[in-house]
Structure 1
């Protein structure tokens, strides 16, 4: 089914970059290993955790840890019927029946089961908390609880292939296809073994707080990745590839999973070169077959021997602001937004080739939660008018009204990144005129957790604070990043009305009501300024000459969304 889906997307996806195919060329041989350069930061196997979602785990392990759905190249959710089927059951209460493929088995020989769904739900429901420094905090460090917190129960016999997911009465979660997705459904049997229980279903539902704490601790940190020796027993695969090794010298090595029950991958070995790699050197060494990087992020990258194109991504390049420290007063946040040269940043750094007259990448991005090619977008962004460009007199006056004199703003991002360094430089030059000093706090080991820690005042990144591929049509990460209790809310923004709006939007089918709610949400966000959207992140995506089945994926899943279909001939 996935092969057929890829054929269909090849024809229909307007954003796709397809590779040239040389037919009947008997002098070329298939390359046995393809190098894939992507600016995700490999930090964890768990794409559902805050660390995984904010570092880009899904762009690396989407074909290693599969789910009922995956993010397609246009940002849409696509059913992965190799994994199983999911369908809504008619009735007054929203109910979804999940059925895993009878042949589904992890690379370690353990059958896939509904235990994995129960673990995903419990980890992301927000129902398990513990006492923290500022009161109750979630036990599980989940990137988002959206959708999962609407589930009342999952009917699952441990080890079964069937699960019935029942939502709370009166609730209807429209984007339910974003649940139990690729890179986010973790192997429950690994957790069970680590904490010493027969299965996690009974352990999680039994109410033993100490046991649930141990499960949460493993879910949070047990799949952390760092270059070096790995205990591969903790990292079984449910997809066409499995993780073989990870080192600074050899990258993230993925090899064909011989337990995979679907179509075997066309190329048996993929080497992922994540953020921190010297991409220019790898390109010169002829070690790369596919490149998916932020446009302009690598100053000396040569693309000789590649079919390359820069496209507008689904991720929103943005500044995420702290809600305390220098930005504790909303007037300072507004003054900063007024001095940020958004139009100049788009003109200089945000264009993906010649911009279209409308749609994705057409102009400065004026929304945090609505895609530019959405029919709602033109009507919901009126609140951005006062922040269209660098208005230094207005910024100076707003700052004066705040009672804050000559503030200093430290902007952090994952370096090296030439485009983001230039972004900070342009902001610093512009805001200097308003009496705001801007410092470049980029670092190779930067993480967005430095924002709540107080080490920086703003984060420059994509949707969900991801350093590389980001964004989807559903926009779950974008909504979650502005809700308290969400792991992705690094700035600490909290607004009850915004929460109520997004709760209603999740189940709202009426287009007029949706438009009104989205307009209110964006007006509220432009009034409070928890973040400053800049532009749809431009991505440079390139395929080596001789590549077949390469289709650009400027989304949170990255261009590796169909890496199991790649064929490179040289």
Structure 2
């Protein structure tokens, strides 16, 4: 068991037994390889990039690329003390001391170092820009990293001191330098031909900065059968052995891992696009973690199967240009979307609870249903609870937009999302709005920014699969101007100011006021339309031990190194 998580995992295991979500069996023969079906896509190794974040790198590589923290099964940040320690230092200026494990080494034999932190901060700080003013690094977001003034690091050292800007505090600092986002700086140094990344980034050579950014942006892109494994070293209990369309993503025990060895030496990740029904019939799956109702014909006989509400928010992210440039058209569309009917038909995870995740349609953009603040801010959604065709018709007439056509894109095939689009199309037809299903097997959220679609149907931050966390950092960042996750191009200075203040606010009354203002603003501007907490089907095969459901961005593979399958 990971040293830093023994107590937590024991508590979670006890809780999961009561909820029926912990798999266990007393079989005699351990299976040497476990198949893991998860509806993320394997597109980038770099979870801090826009491509990595929107494809689901955190759900695949959390135990391959480790960090100081990882997302636990309830969406909370958990310290990974095998990697190192992070300690906030008392003082007027927020300062965090990081110390990497002295034994830490990548699978290629290169020691982990503070260079990795400098690279992460530099890439996500927003400090490096192109001549046209745009960001040099295609970072998913700059949340928290933009508040850091400097990272004190002697190249190659195990120690780093992170100093935040004077007057700024970033309360969710444990979301920084995390699993699947702390990338190997030495690989970048080798690729661009410099002794160390720290010196290169501290220097004034703009052309060199651009080369570093180019590799960070695209050097870790993953295509089946085309990996140069020397560029994909591991800092966790598993490393990549191979990646192909026919054999999946094969992870094997990392021989250089300094922590507890993984219980099972081989995990085969079957990502989005796999014929899951066929794999189930072949008895090739031990763990399944997919959107509920997303796969037609999937039979999980013999599995301990549960459908649970996740921390991912099923939502429509709307463009703010093209057909949706007038806010009145966005309002008309929101008024004809049958949010209550969608929840009743497609959004329930069993019998809904009276409150909390999955209790009903999601009536907030950035505040989660189990938050103490949710009941106070949810009232702004009242005009959009169910399809109001007369109101939608009136809004459309006021916009003088004629009879618009809305193209809704999502990663296909996905039976539940196809049904969602069909229900919206049927409802909005009455208001003179044509809704077109633009789902595609190669769909990415960036198609919204490119103008190829008008809306994206997905989870938090447009993720196709596992999404969400208790901190909600991605949800806030996905609507912030200039963020890589802001695929709809929403820009509102007041919203950005609110998020900045919330990141360091400790007064609950002020927090409530800010969240109320944010939700009122977002329901007025409608950069997105929240639908419901995405239901997830999580199943463990007979004989599975130590499986704990993780309906968050880290997925159920958050502790895959502890899995044991006995048959």
1:221 aligns with 2:224: no
Distance 1:126 1:13, change over 3 A: farther
- The 3 A distance-change label for structure 1 pair 506 and 161 is same
Residues 403-433 of structure 1 deviation map (CA, whole Å, 9 limit, x = unaligned):
1110000000000000000000000000000
Q: Judge conservation of contact 1:229–1:245 (CA < 8 Å) in 2.
A: no
- Alpha-carbon distance in 2 for matches of 1:456, 1:15: 44
Q: Using the alignment, how far apart are the partners of 1:222 and 1:314 within structure 2? A: 30
Structure-to-structure mapping, 1:125-524, within 5 angstroms: 125-131=125-131, 135-524=132-521
Per-residue Cα deviation, 1:328-348 (whole angstroms, up to 9, x for no partner): 000000000000000000000
The separation in 2 between residues aligned to 1:84 and 1:22, in whole angstroms, is 33
Which segment is superposed worse, 345-354 or 11-20? 11-20
Q: Distance in 1 between matches of 2:302 and 2:433?
A: 45
Maintained 8 Å contact 2:225/2:243: yes
List runs of 5+ in structure 2 lacking aligned partners: none
Q: CA deviation at 1:21?
A: 2.6
Does the CA-based 8 Å contact 1:360-1:372 persist in structure 2? Answer: yes
CA contact (8 A) 2:23 2:547 kept: no
Distance 1:426 1:140 in 2: 39
Match of 1:22 in 2: 25
The equivalent position to 1:8 in structure 2, one of 3, 7, 11, is: 11
Q: Helix, strand or coil for the counterpart of 1:425?
A: helix
Q: Secondary structure at the match of 2:155?
A: coil
Change in Cα spacing, 1:116 to 1:420, as seen in structure 2 (3 Å) is same
- The whole-number CA distance in structure 2 between the counterparts of 1:115 and 1:332 is 48
* Post-superposition offset of 1:295: 0.1
Q: CA deviation digits over 1:213-249, x for unaligned, max 9?
A: 0000000000000101321000000000001100000
Output the CA distance in 2 between the equivalents of 1:371 and 1:281: 36
| Distance in 2, Cα, partners of 1:397 & 1:120 | 49
C-alpha distance in 2, partners of 1:503/1:556?
Answer: 23
Distance in structure 1 (CA, Å) of the matches to 2:154 and 2:466? 37
Return the alpha-carbon distance in structure 2 between the equivalents of residues 35 and 186 of structure 1.
26
8 Å contact kept, 2:22–2:549: no
Deviation at 1:321, TM superposition (A): 0.3
Aligned pair in 2 of structure 1 residues 43, 16: CA closer, same or farther (>3 Å)?
farther
Cα distance in 1, alignment partners of residues 555 and 198 from structure 2 = 32
Normalization by structure 1: what TM-score? 0.98
Alpha-carbon distance change, 17 to 455 in structure 1, aligned in 2, over 3 angstroms? farther
Q: Contact 2:76/2:470 (CA < 8 Å) preserved in 1?
A: yes
Contact in 1 for aligned 2:13/2:22 (Cα 8 Å): no
Structure 1: distance between partners of 2:57 and 2:238: 15
| Matched-pair contact (CA < 8 Å) for 1:37–1:291 | yes
Determine the C-alpha separation between the residues in 2 that align with 1:20 and 1:119: 39
Q: 1:153 to 1:337 in 2, by over 3 A?
A: same
- 1:94 matches 2:94: yes
1:16–1:73 Cα contact (<8 Å) kept: no
Alpha-carbon deviation of 1:12? 4.2
Shift of 1:3: 3.6
- Quote the residue 1:65 is aligned against: 65
TM-score by length of 2: 0.98
Contact 2:308–2:551 under 8 Å retained in 1: yes
- For each residue in 1:319-376, what CA deviation from the matched residue of structure 2 results, as whole angstroms up to 9, or x when unmatched? 0000000000000000000000000000000000000000000000011111100100
After superposition, residues 50-129 of structure 1 pair within 5 angstroms as 50-129=50-129
1:526 and 1:176 map into 2 onto residues whose CA distance is: 28
CA distance in 2, matches of 1:544, 1:82: 29
Q: Distance in 1 between matches of 2:164 and 2:213?
A: 23
- What CA distance in whole angstroms lies between the structure 2 residues aligned with 1:518 and 1:115? 37
Cα distance in 1 for partners of 2:6, 2:246 equals 33
**Take 2:18 and 2:38, find their aligned partners in 1: how far apart are those partners?**
18
By how many angstroms is 1:10 displaced?
1.4
Shift of 1:20: 4.1
- Aligned-pair distance for 1:382? 1.3
Contact 1:15 1:311 in 2 (8 A): no
Deviation readout 1:180-200 (Å, 9 max, x if unpaired): 000000000000000000000
Deviation at 1:464, TM superposition (A): 0.8
RMSD: 1.0
Deviations 1:267-290 (A, max 9, x none): 000000000000000000000000
